[in-house]
Structure 1
Amino acid sequence: MLNSDIFLIIESSKLKFTEVDQQIADYFLNGNPPLKQSELAKKINVSTASITRFCKKTGFGNYKEFIYCYRKTLQEHSNDKNNITSNLLIRYNELITEIDKTIDIEEIKSVCRLIQLHKIIHIYGLGLSAIAGEDFKFRFTRIGKYVEVVQDYDSIEMISSLLDQDNLVIYLSLRGENQYVIRSLKRLKQKGATIIVITSNRSSVMDELADVTLLTSQIKNTNEVGQVSGQLPLLIIIDMIYSQYISMYRENVSKWIGTEYAYLHGHKSSEHK
């Protein structure tokens, strides 16, 4: 039999099934343990003859051939699951190890100090980088910062024309090669804006543009994109920044959270009066 995946074989044979056949099929399609023919008949309350007819409808000579193929398919699916898990764990470990080797904690602290100095923060990010930017926004908005994620060319160009030396811009991009964004960052640099770049691109252009550059890991094999989330290397750096920021400014953060809680609690109380 050319197709050895028993689940596909059963699915492709469904048009020939009676209600009893479907009952037998459901047992196997749910991935239940393989049983002897007599045990299976007793368990699902059908005759052994019905099971034999079912096997023949799916292209097997008898139950022995069918159950052999079923066991093999279960093993293959189990191996696939284990391989996927193992490969992902390896990829995650590689990402974290590489970041740990390249990241400078003093640069993380410098980023935190710049964030502390600015009430308003603009995040530039396209595609998956914008999703990472939303994570940054969610975290820092909760502790008193106004964060705006700018995620398309026109908006980046327009916002850049309005910002000046009093503003902080964080550019998120693994490749760091988009010429439209780089052009806007160059204009911001000329106007004296503070720029932080989080990227895996170790080019001199990024170093020239940024007040601080945080290097993250690369997804080296493009075939892995989709298996390992493309924004994960950026999210790890954001986790590090947020954790360090909380550590450095714990008192300020606690005051903000306390003030916010008091305001919300008082606002809700007044609504019930």
Structure 2
Amino acid sequence: MYVVNKDLLNSLEKNIYSILIKEIKQNNTLSIIDAASICGCSPSKISKFVQKLGFKNYKEYLAFISGNAFTVIPNENERLNKFLDNFNSEIIEHFAAYLQKFEKIILFGYGPSFIAGQYFEYKLRNLLEIPICAVAHETSINDLLSKNNLVIIFSVTGQFKSFKELYENVILKNSKVAFILEEGRTEFLETYDYTITLSNYLQNPELLPHEKTRTTFFAFIEAVIKQLETPSFEKKLQKKVKKVKDDF
């Protein structure tokens, strides 16, 4: 499980981000020394950059960006067991905190992924005191959208239909988009600011997007809800809010 939030990066780090994604596409064995040379910085800066993105080290970052971190496991029971064995609770905590920043949450997905959005809506309504709605059509998002909203898009492959126009409309309204993907895709990392890739273990590539399971989505949703329900997490959030108010 990986989270990439470009909003955490400064201008230099965003430049490194853009350069390395393009370079690694051409050379999936790019060393950290060569990466630093291309970006005009030190290897230690590259190391700090990948850690700021949430990766343990450059090796893990390289494997993710190049696609070498992903393995097809056709047997669904085996795949889900591996997914659960490698579940990253830190990303769950990060995302649960991220939800608190917005004044409205809109959940969206095509086909079966929309059902995951509906389920998340049902769960979140009991926990967050903001408007939350799941929609099945892009036009509905545009009707609901205002400033400081979060649009969460569930997609297994990211290939069913382009999200570019939707993303641009959301950004124009001074809001954010979070993509929850099962399969990591480089083009999403290049274009969009916030993505969570749920699993290193991919479903049978012969299946069409609508034929693939959404089990990892529901496991992710349940973990986020459990995190939001945790009393210690609520106390942490209250302290953060108080600190922001005091600083202000």
TM-score by length of 1: 0.49
* Structure with more of its chain in helix, by fraction: 1
Q: Which residue of 2 aligns with 1:129?
A: 113
Q: Which residue of 1 aligns with 2:80?
A: 95
Alpha carbons of 1:182 and 1:139: their partners in 2 closer, same or farther (altered >3 Å)?
Answer: same
- Secondary structure of the 1:235 match is helix
Which structure 1 segments of 5+ residues have no match?
Answer: 1-89, 254-273
RMSD: 3.2
1:206 aligns with 2:188: yes
1:233 aligns with 2:207: no
Alpha carbons of 1:92 and 1:241: their partners in 2 closer, same or farther (altered >3 Å)?
Answer: farther
Q: Which has the higher contact order (CA 8 A, sep 6+)?
A: 2
- Aligned structure 1 segments of 4 or more residues deviating by more than 3 angstroms: 156-159, 189-192, 221-226, 248-253
Give how far 1:183 is off.
Answer: 2.0
Q: Which residue of 2 aligns with 1:79?
A: none
Return the letter of the residue paired with 2:223.
M
Q: Partners of 2:89 and 2:77 in 1: how far apart?
A: 21
Q: Which residue of 2 aligns with 1:184?
A: 166
Return the letter of the residue paired with 1:234.
F
Q: Which residue of 2 aligns with 1:147?
A: 132
Alpha carbons of 1:91 and 1:178: their partners in 2 closer, same or farther (altered >3 Å)?
Answer: closer
- Secondary structure of the 1:121 match is strand
Alpha carbons of 1:240 and 1:93: their partners in 2 closer, same or farther (altered >3 Å)?
Answer: farther
Which structure 2 segments of 5+ residues have no match?
Answer: 1-74, 238-248
- Alpha-carbon contact 1:125-1:171 (below 8 Å) kept: yes
Give how far 1:236 is off.
Answer: 1.3
Q: Partners of 2:181 and 2:209 in 1: how far apart?
A: 16
Q: Identity percentage over the alignment?
A: 18
Structure with greater Cα Rg = 1
Q: Partners of 1:241 and 1:93 in 2: how far apart?
A: 23
Give how far 1:193 is off.
Answer: 1.8
